[in-house]
Amino acid sequence: METPHVAQKSPFVRKMPAGTYYWCTCGNSKSQPFCDGSHKGGSFSPTKVVLTEEKTVAWCGCKHTKTPGFCDGSHSKLPA
């Protein structure tokens, strides 16, 4: 199994309107934290996230979260 690229070791905190988003799982997207298709040809695929209301979201930047799309603090456990 491939290991995702760590886009950054902190969350992407953004105020988001309600809508459907595709969170990047490979870490290679130039549109972090969202998918831009950079995963094509690999084993990764984006995670669909539906927000039913406007809210501030801490999107995972390290790509190692156990709650896909959302930061769970996993970045603090990654090697330096």
In a domain, 49, yes or no: yes
pLDDT at 1: 65
In a domain, 40, yes or no: yes
Phi, psi of 32 (to 5 degrees): -50, 140
In a domain, 34, yes or no: yes
| pLDDT tens profile 16-52 | 999 999 999 999 999 999 999 999 999 999 999 999 9
In a domain, 64, yes or no: no
Domain total in the chain:
1
Q: Which domain holds residue 50?
A: 1-6+20-57
Residue 55 pLDDT greater than 70, yes or no: yes
Q: Please, are residues 27 and 63 in contact by the beta-carbon 8 Å criterion?
A: yes
pLDDT at 2: 86
In a domain, 36, yes or no: yes
In a domain, 39, yes or no: yes
Q: Please, are residues 24 and 7 in contact by the beta-carbon 8 Å criterion?
A: yes
In a domain, 48, yes or no: yes
Entry pTM: 0.94
